[in-house]
Amino acid sequence: MAYKSRIVQIFIFIITNFFLLLIIDSASSQNILTIESRSDPATPEDCSNRWIHIRNLPSRFNLDLLTNCSDYPLFDDFCPYLANHGLGQKTHIRSRSWYRTDPLLLELIFHRRILEYPCLTDDPDVANAVFLPYYAAIDSLRYLYGPDVNSSFQHGMDLFQFLRSDEPGIWERNMGHDHFLVMARPAWDFSQPLNNDPPVWGTSFLELPEFYNITALVPEGRPWPLQEHAVPYPTSFHPQNLTYFEAWIQRVKRSRRTSLMLFAGGGGIGSAPNIRRSIRNECENGTIKNNISSSSSFNIVQRNGVYSKLCHIVDCSNGICEHDPIRYMKPMLQATFCLQPPGDTPTRRSTFDAITAGCIPVFFEELSAKTQYGWHLPADKFAEFSVFIPKEEVVFKGLRILDVLMGIPRSEVRRMRQSIVELIPRVMYRRHGSSLELRSKKDAFDIAIDGALQTIKDKLGDTLEH
């Protein structure tokens, strides 16, 4: 224990001082950026309408929260994943771009990345948006899994009181409409109605009228989005320069796809009919059919001469895949379609792992992606890069996923894969401190910031009109 807490202390010392250095340094680094962009007219750094002020919060709202990373009785120790400013440890010593990333640390990843955003301002009065570096999901753990479970409606009150008492003018200027933050868990975990007695699940952060005006970036929104907008879950891929990024893209393009479809996940074990159960059934039966020469699937395999497997299941039960991307990335590189059935909630990080591997996602619910990630995955383009099979058709009407996927012509599959490869930069969080060439590609963070700025602009426009 002592050893562990010492490691955490050292880490916090490093991160704090690094943040301080960056903050102290920000005036000069902005100069450097401006000079560089001036000398390169192809990438003018135009900050108009894009200024962001990072609200100065006491460390109890962010860095202090990391000290308890091993202390939540019902929640796994997440201390190991704090490394590299929330990207986690590299998967192995010589790994270039792959880390053991835990999606809970998206708040840390955003915090680190926004420190190198080119249009930061110290003056809240000229800012178009105010970022709150609050680790909301990490702070929620004490309500979700800790001693404060019975006061989950208080999550966020301390923050609100701080915002209203310390330099209250920053909030009052636009009544919080220009404030945004990241909350690294599905919005469900923060939207327990205030009058639930006893509490069922979640904190009430997003239900508090105090926070109705803010914009929250979450990995999964509610079906009726209110304050929140969904952004991609972080995958394990965080390249730091163009060489590493392009090396991966080449690997994705060249990879031989020997499985028709792949499911990486758990569930579907029980007897209750659900989409995961159906997938398991099909995969088990599909393998059998593969061995019977008279079956239709066998014939298709023969005719195309490509797939050695119709269905591949990577069993990720008990969280064994979570911090071990090799387990599923290799099979995803070798599959044409990656199934994305809903689990406890409609969305999955695996959707973004699949896109990163060039594996065409198959969705069974609109809520799994299409109605969520509009900034990153344009809703009107879904047919170009994904397959949609309503889960009811599969679970209750006997539609076979294999039949649908085998019915897609190979030329169409090739086009879809090209579209998927083009999406890879949009869903990746590149490593902080990346090379300038890689920074010229918009990644998931850049697109999220653009989206937040636009949302805030629209809201302020509306507020002024009324």
What are the φ and ψ backbone dihedral angles of 228, each rounded to 5 degrees?
A: -100, 160
Of 36-44, 282-290, 316-324, 332-340, the window that binds ligand NAG (rule: CB under 6 A) is 282-290
- Provide the token pair at 300: 């298709």
Of 58-66, 129-137, 179-187, 374-382, the window that binds ligand NAG (rule: CB under 6 A) is 58-66
273 binds ligand NAG (CB under 6 A): no
- Provide the token pair at 231: 């952004």
400 binds ligand NAG (CB under 6 A): yes
Q: How far apart are CA 352 and CA 369, in angstroms?
A: 10
What binding mask, one character per residue, do residues 32-51 give for ligand NAG by CB under 6 A, x or -?
--------------------
210 binds ligand NAG (CB under 6 A): yes
**68 vs 258 by CB, closer to ligand NAG:** 68
Q: Which of 29, 285, 345, 371 binds ligand NAG (CB under 6 A)?
A: 285
Q: 84, 228, 205: which is closest to 148 by C-alpha?
A: 205
Neighbours of 331 (CB within 10 A): 21
Of 43-51, 60-68, 123-131, 346-354, the window that binds ligand NAG (rule: CB under 6 A) is 60-68
166 binds ligand NAG (CB under 6 A): no
175 binds ligand NAG (CB under 6 A): yes
Strand order in the sheet with 215-218: 52-54, 129-131, 179-182, 215-218, 228-230
**59 vs 418 by CB, closer to ligand NAG:** 59
147 binds ligand NAG (CB under 6 A): yes
> Cβ of residue 378: shortest distance to ligand NAG, in angstroms?
29
> Cβ of residue 212: shortest distance to ligand NAG, in angstroms?
6
Under 8 Å CB-to-CB from 459, ≥6 apart: which residues? 177, 178, 213, 215
241 binds ligand NAG (CB under 6 A): yes
> Cβ of residue 139: shortest distance to ligand NAG, in angstroms?
7
Residue 262, Ramachandran bin (φ over 0: left; ψ between -120 and 50: alpha; else beta): beta
By three-state DSSP, how is residue 229 classified?
A: strand
Q: How far apart are CA 204 and CA 191, in angstroms?
A: 5
- Provide the token pair at 222: 């509610």
403 binds ligand NAG (CB under 6 A): no
Residue 358, Ramachandran bin (φ over 0: left; ψ between -120 and 50: alpha; else beta): left
Contact 353, 341 (CB under 8 A): no
294 binds ligand NAG (CB under 6 A): no
- Residues between 321 and 350 with contacts to ligand NAG, criterion CB under 6 A: none
Residues in contact with ligand NAG, counted by CB under 6 A, come to a total of 28
213 binds ligand NAG (CB under 6 A): yes
Q: Which of 149, 408, 421, 460 binds ligand NAG (CB under 6 A)?
A: 149
- Provide the token pair at 173: 């200027």
198 binds ligand NAG (CB under 6 A): yes
> Cβ of residue 349: shortest distance to ligand NAG, in angstroms?
26
On the 0-12 / 13-18 / 19+ scale of CB atoms within 10 A, 430 is: buried
Strand order in the sheet with 360-363: 309-315, 259-265, 335-340, 360-363, 387-388
**102 vs 282 by CB, closer to ligand NAG:** 282
What binding mask, one character per residue, do residues 87-116 give for ligand NAG by CB under 6 A, x or -?
------------------------------
Q: Which of 281, 295, 345, 371 binds ligand NAG (CB under 6 A)?
A: 281
- Provide the token pair at 236: 């394990």
Q: In Å, what is the CA distance from 362 to each residue of 111, 299, 359, 386? A: 32, 23, 9, 6
> Cβ of residue 465: shortest distance to ligand NAG, in angstroms?
11
Of 17-25, 147-155, 221-229, 267-275, the window that binds ligand NAG (rule: CB under 6 A) is 147-155
CA 130 to chain CA centroid, Å, is 21
435 binds ligand NAG (CB under 6 A): yes
Q: How far apart are CA 397 and CA 118, in angstroms?
A: 53
> Cβ of residue 351: shortest distance to ligand NAG, in angstroms?
24
- Which residues of this protein are in contact with ligand NAG, per CB under 6 A? 60, 64-65, 68, 71, 142, 147, 149-150, 175-176, 198, 210, 212-213, 241-244, 281-282, 285, 287-288, 291, 400, 435, 463
